[in-house]
Amino acid sequence: MPIINRIADYAGELTEWRRYIHQNPELGFEEFGTANFVAEKLAAMGVTVHRGLAGTGVVGSLTAGSGQGPAIGLRADMDALPILERGAHAHRSVNAGKMHACGHDGHTTMLLGAAKYLSETGNFDGTVHFIFQPAEEGKGGGKKMVDEGLFKLFPVEEVYGMHNMPGMDVGSFAVAPGPMMAARDNFEIRVQGRGCHAAMPHQGVDPIVVGANIVMALQTITSRNLDPQEALVVSVTQFHAGNDAFNVIPDEIMLRGTCRVFSGDIQQSLPERISRIIDGVAATYGATAELTYHKGYPATVNAIAPSDFCAEVAGEIAGSADGVNRAPLPSMGAEDFSYMLQEKPGCYIWAGNGQSAGLHHPEYDFNDELLTVGASYWSRLVEKRLARAA
């Protein structure tokens, strides 16, 4: 059962909605216009609307059948990224420096499409909560919704998420039990040396040399400190040192970077591992180093039964089980849907976006052909999980 016929008829309307959202991107916790758009569409469908969780979050609730069936949550993210769009299409961003470069415009639209179909057909027995989450891109809107009582106000048996994936064919899916996305932490390392004239380096302690050695030494956490079968990325992404002078060794430098890992135990151990390395390297050169470690999103981990169920649903929409990759390599990217999966069992699935530019690229654009595919997936998931009694 590929795309649901009734949803196929929505294609033009869904495309219009998606392109409107794309053209009017808003950053995390600033999605006021997007939230208004979502709430108005849901209300027009007869879906009960709740607003205010995490500031700009929107939750739509729809009950059908006996009203005694179980409840599930479906989540889409709404925020854009601080990127200057380079695409030449007519619906490019009108907000300079803001862009839907990760497809959240499409995620929002697909969930609205499912809400439209399910509100018209009501072919299920139970309750669906359509969760439109703000601030996924690094600001933890998912955690904020949970902390503010998402699952107390809207109790669910499971919660489900979906993300588009460039490079996968439209109509194909990927899902597996266990980790799908990594945990993400950030760090800052301040190295204190002693400045001096660049022609007389022996009179100072060069923090640039210390920092360069720290960058290389941090890679031994992955190559020599961990079981080779464990996945970990430690990347230094910023190196700030000196001023405009060519002949001055500075007093201090700042390194910044990120860690990506699937194991919670390894994630907990990283501050101590990094501190031990930077203290040792700095002491070798007579400098000091100070670590500031910022704990970020946990790993996104799928439960077994929901993953198997989602693979079955995806196979229906793909047309066969061959359209579902049941053993994808987990991504070292991070996703704050993880906070919802820590509270409730569920599943996070990837849906093919075709041969588009990559996520977070200034020329990326969500593939409108995916809109009816994703809306059909969401709708069949509800109809199967909350099936009416025969």
Residue range 2-17, pLDDT digits in tens: 899 999 999 999 999 9
Q: Which helix (H) or strand (E) element contains residue 59?
A: strand 58-64
Average pLDDT of 49-70?
96
Q: Work out the pLDDT band at 244, boundaries 50, 70, 90.
A: confident
DSSP-H helix ranges across the chain: 5-8, 11-23, 32-44, 104-121, 141-147, 150-153, 207-218, 220, 264-285, 304-318, 338-343, 369-385
Which residue is associated with the tokens 């031990």?
A: 276
Beta strands 346-352 and 173-174 are antiparallel
Q: What are phi and psi of 229, to 5 degrees?
A: -85, -10
**For the chain, what is the radius of gyration of the CA atoms?**
24
Q: Cα–Cα distance between 170 and 367 in angstroms, integer? A: 8
Nearest 5°: the CA angle 178, 187, 182 is: 10
Domain ranges of the chain: 5-180+299-385, 183-294
Q: Work out the pLDDT band at 181, boundaries 50, 70, 90.
A: very high
pTM of structure? 0.93
CB distance 75 to 337 below 8 Å: yes
Structure tokens, 45: 């469908």
* Mean pLDDT score across all residues of the chain: 97
Residue range 273-318, pLDDT digits in tens: 999 999 999 999 999 999 999 999 999 999 999 999 999 999 999 9
Q: Which residue type does 201 have?
A: P
Q: Cα–Cα distance between 99 and 104 in angstroms, integer? A: 10
Give the residues across from 252 on adjacent strands: 192
Q: Give the pLDDT confidence score for residue 1 in this predicted structure.
A: 55
**CATH level 3 topology of 5-180+299-385:** Aminopeptidase (3.40.630)
The helix/strand/coil state of 315 is helix
Name every residue whose Cβ is closer than 8 Å to that of residue 351 and which is 6 or more positions away in sequence.
162, 163, 164, 165, 168, 172, 173, 314, 370, 373, 374, 377
Is residue 93 over pLDDT 80?
Answer: yes
Average pLDDT of 373-381?
98
Residue range 210-238, pLDDT digits in tens: 999 999 999 999 998 888 888 999 999 99
CB distance 175 to 320 below 8 Å: no
Q: Work out the pLDDT band at 87, boundaries 50, 70, 90.
A: confident
Average pLDDT of 167-196?
97
**Domain with residues 183-294, CATH architecture:** 2-Layer Sandwich (3.30)
